[in-house]
Amino acid sequence: MKFNTKTIHGGQHEVDPAYGSVMPPIYQTSTYSQSTPGGHKGFEYSRSGNPTRSALERSLASLENGKFGLAFASGLAAIDAVIKLLKPGDEVVSTSDLYGGSYRLFTKIFEDLGIKFHFIGMENAATIENYINDKTKLIWVETPTNPMMNIIDIKATAAIAKKHNVLLAVDSTFATPYLQKPLDLGADIVMHSATKYLGGHSDVVMGALVVKEEKLAEKLYFIQNASGAVCGPQDSFLVLRGIKTLHIRMQRHCENGKAIANFLKNHPKIEKVYWPGFEDHANHEIAKSQMEDFGGMISFVTKGNDYDQAIKIVENLKVFTLAESLGGVESLAGHPASMTHASIPKEEREKTGVVDSLIRLSVGIEDIDDLIADLEQAIG
């Protein structure tokens, strides 16, 4: 089954046997009747499992060419479950350019529990090996990174991880399974903030993990159930609905993203545009080899690194909405230094390029002429 068909049918069983419902029903229930203690029809309590959530988890596994999918209450809840595979004294090698919420979780929660994190640039995958020792248990990768759009070679990183018997987890939120499949490139775990492109309509918060290996899946399922950060059936239904149009939405996100990236690159008031589709983008060739296209996420800085100018631009946008998050059908603009990455200390932010004039765009699926006109009037 090819990808475009998987978004509609992947991992889904026949129509609902009760009434022939084409879409999996929303099982809005917390518990299930039992004929005898322990005698049930596969579900006993909705923290442990729910038919609507299970339908979503099968779909997620299918999209990533994995075997086991897990859905969580948020992307951070999914990341939390991965780090809970570790114990005090273990070490993690993480990319230095990553979502601010991930950085906050790692440094403010798990470092206090005795897990050590090394935040490094991973554009040259060989660098990773310098930070691996006998305490290293996990390599955490984002690619493309948030918000600098750096590309990390998943295949090369997976080879390093396997050489040292270390788990490799990839946050593939920006790429989605439509553009990139980390498990096929050797990763052990792929993570998504399903709030973004998978849901696609800015109406749900959810996270997801997909793995191939059964023992690893069993550990993660145990953590999911024991910690309880699961999503509800209504949210599961919404993301499953969103997935059914993922392929056609991503086509338009990519088309519009390319047009806007080129518009910004040629604008006299823009200093630098970060988008992996440019031939002069670092690791552009790796992006070409591990991605189907280059996506709809773009970051840029104005000339002179002018903070006031950046704020003026995002406040003057009319079609783009100034808001947190990304990946919805509507175009969004954000100021990472004061929004998504505010939890990262300024010195650490600026080391990775997240300067005060940086603007991040999530390019939606509106008419491209309207989006360009909006940027033109806002930049001035």
Active-site choice (53, 58, 196, 349): 196
Which amino acid is residue 92, in one-letter code? V
> CB of 303 within 8 A of CB of 314?
no
Tokens 């005060």: give the residue. 356
Tokens 């935040």: give the residue. 119
> CB of 117 within 8 A of CB of 106?
yes
Rounded Cα distance between 246 and 62, Å, is 13
Rounded Cα distance between 108 and 111, Å, is 6
Is 279 exposed, middle or buried (CB count within 10 Å of its CB: 0-12, 13-18, 19+)? exposed
Using DSSP, state whether 345 is helix, strand or coil.
Answer: coil
221 is catalytic: no
φ, ψ of residue 275 in degrees (nearest 5): -155, 125
249 is catalytic: no
> CB of 70 within 8 A of CB of 208?
yes
φ, ψ of residue 174 in degrees (nearest 5): -65, -30
E-assigned strands of 27-173? 68-72, 91-95, 116-120, 136-142, 167-171
Active-site choice (16, 32, 47, 155): 47
99 is catalytic: yes
Active-site choice (97, 153, 171, 188): 171
Rounded Cα distance between 150 and 282, Å, is 7
Count of other CB atoms within 10 angstroms of residue 184: 15
φ, ψ of residue 198 in degrees (nearest 5): -65, -45
Using DSSP, state whether 267 is helix, strand or coil.
Answer: coil
Active-site choice (99, 103, 221, 274): 99
196 is catalytic: yes
> CB of 208 within 8 A of CB of 191?
yes
Is 23 exposed, middle or buried (CB count within 10 Å of its CB: 0-12, 13-18, 19+)? middle
Rounded Cα distance between 359 and 307, Å, is 10
Catalytic positions are 47, 99, 171, 196
